[in-house]
Structure 1
Amino acid sequence: MSDHSIKNAYRRYAGVYDRLFGSVFAEGRRKAVELGTAEPGARILEVGVGTGLSLPEYGNGAEVYGIDLSEPMLQKARERVEREGLEHVKGLCVMNAEATSFADASFDTVVAMYVVSVVGNPARMFREMARICKPGGNIVVVNHFASSHWALDAVERAFAPISNLIGFRPDYSMDEMLEDARLTLVSAERVNWFGYWHLAHFHNVPVQSTAPQAQLGGAYLGGRLEADPEHA
């Protein structure tokens, strides 16, 4: 995935994104927002905010900022903020999630919904999310990962060569996410239709081990994540 291909893909999606993915992704968005706003008055950054479908759902006194690489998608988000009077949304701007302009420890929570398999370098994005999140803060990820089912896996691999065209990488695996994140896992669950997506909640606490399972205080077992009981 390149920045150019991402921008092209989501320029095409901007006008129809809400109709295509609004209800499909609704459960994951709602649960991610609930985790992100568990702390009253949290300062939250939503990475890959897109058309702002999640923005009306933030409450609990949150102060919300959003970034996205696609200006057409962000324009839809700005229109939503204006139309719905979303005063808790403090800023929306074009920015690369792999290299933001925010200072260290700027946010209590960083949320990335349906964006990990879109960026060119997920490991770099996770490092940046950890940098701008306060130590011990929350990082919430919702994403599709490569299926462990042989038939779905075959389909995803078949579409992988045209990732630049469809706007996301369908064969990004859970193991890669675990290795890239290198944070302490609090909880994880399947969400949305047929449990085809995962929601993972991390604390911004780096881990020392190089083994993905140990890194995150949990294990990836048979297509699902098991969180460390101490953090569950």
Structure 2
Amino acid sequence: MKTDLDHATVQEAYAGWAPIYDIVFGAVFEPGRKAALRAAERIGGRILDFGVGTGFALPAYKRTNRLVGVDISEPMLRKAHEKVAKENLTHVEGLCLMDGAHMGFADNSFDVVMAQFVITVVPHPEETLDEMARVLKPGGEIILVNHLGAEDGPRAVFERWFARRARKLGWRPEFQFARLHNWAVRNGSVDLPVKRDVALGMYTMVRFRKRTEAEIAAMSESVALAG
């Protein structure tokens, strides 16, 4: 069984989704998007919309924010460029074709990193989260909203069974919250994730706050003293 996604699979899948993505997923994902946008705009500032796709969410951001979108799919980004031009989205600074695990931004570039329905479909989730944390300013937040896999029970069994078929669609239905928690522990630059169900439990919003240098130093000192 193919256990993970690669760039070619993701790019092929989303090239196919690009012409119909907004129609198929717009209404389905809207409650989760709205919850994530509310969380992001409580912080505001310069926001990285990671996995911006067709730019479906861009018009919903307040114009007081500054937005940069990145995606691995060129066909999806073409749709986003069209949307920015058609709707005169002047708060969008740029749209970039990038591998999320190797982004070309300086450290501490963004107040918020938003990833809507994307962390379970990128080829390398942990490396991508490392990059999100790197480009995030101290005190800022990574905000994810996604379907996350069940930990046990009939749904977990089905998601594991469906995983092989879902790879061709560019999905990981079995991706669980524990993987995000374990990443935060290993990374060390963010607080442990806070999660809550949104859209009647259909999706989960997960938030990571990036620690300041002083907080990281204090924690390191505490660990050293305890040792």
Task: Please say whether Structure 1 and Structure 2 have the same fold, judged by a TM-score greater than 0.5.
Answer: yes
Change over 3 Å in CA distance of 1:3–1:161 after alignment to 2: same
Does the 8 Å contact 1:127/1:181 carry over to 2?
no
Change over 3 Å in CA distance of 1:179–1:117 after alignment to 2: same
Does the 8 Å contact 1:185/1:200 carry over to 2?
no
Question: How far apart, CA to CA, are the structure 2 residues paired with 1:188 and 1:159?
Answer: 25
Are 1:197 and 2:217 counterparts? no
Does the 8 Å contact 1:143/1:199 carry over to 2?
yes
Q: How does 1:47-196 map to 2 (within 5 A)?
A: 47-59=50-62, 61-148=64-151, 150-182=153-185, 183-185=190-192, 187-192=194-199, 194-196=200-202
Query: What is aligned with 2:20?
Result: 16
Identity of aligned residues (%): 38
CA RMSD of aligned residues (A): 1.8
1:83 Cα offset (Å): 1.2
3-state secondary structure, aligned to 1:22: helix
Query: What is aligned with 1:37?
Result: 41
Question: How far apart, CA to CA, are the structure 1 residues paired with 2:173 and 2:61?
Answer: 29
Moved over 4 A (4+): none
1:144 Cα offset (Å): 1.3
Does the 8 Å contact 2:68/2:94 carry over to 1?
yes
Q: How does 1:206-225 map to 2 (within 5 A)?
A: none
Normalising by structure 2, we get a TM-score of 0.85
Does the 8 Å contact 1:133/1:204 carry over to 2?
yes
Does the 8 Å contact 1:123/1:181 carry over to 2?
no
**More helix, by proportion:** 2
1:78 Cα offset (Å): 1.0
3-state secondary structure, aligned to 2:27: coil
Are 1:27 and 2:34 counterparts? no
1:187 Cα offset (Å): 4.1
Question: How far apart, CA to CA, are the structure 1 residues paired with 2:117 and 2:57?
Answer: 12
Normalising by structure 1, we get a TM-score of 0.83
1:121 Cα offset (Å): 1.7
3-state secondary structure, aligned to 1:176: helix
Matched pairs, number: 206
Query: What is aligned with 1:223?
Result: none
Does the 8 Å contact 2:180/2:193 carry over to 1?
no
Does the 8 Å contact 2:63/2:91 carry over to 1?
no
1:60 Cα offset (Å): 5.6
Question: How far apart, CA to CA, are the structure 1 residues paired with 2:184 and 2:164?
Answer: 24
Question: How far apart, CA to CA, are the structure 1 residues paired with 2:165 and 2:210?
Answer: 33
Does the 8 Å contact 1:46/1:65 carry over to 2?
yes
1:19 Cα offset (Å): 1.1
Gaps of 5+ in 1: 209-232
Does the 8 Å contact 1:98/1:124 carry over to 2?
yes
Question: How far apart, CA to CA, are the structure 1 residues paired with 2:77 and 2:198?
Answer: 25
1:191-214 CA deviation, whole Å, 9 max, x = no partner? 23x412100122112898xxxxxx
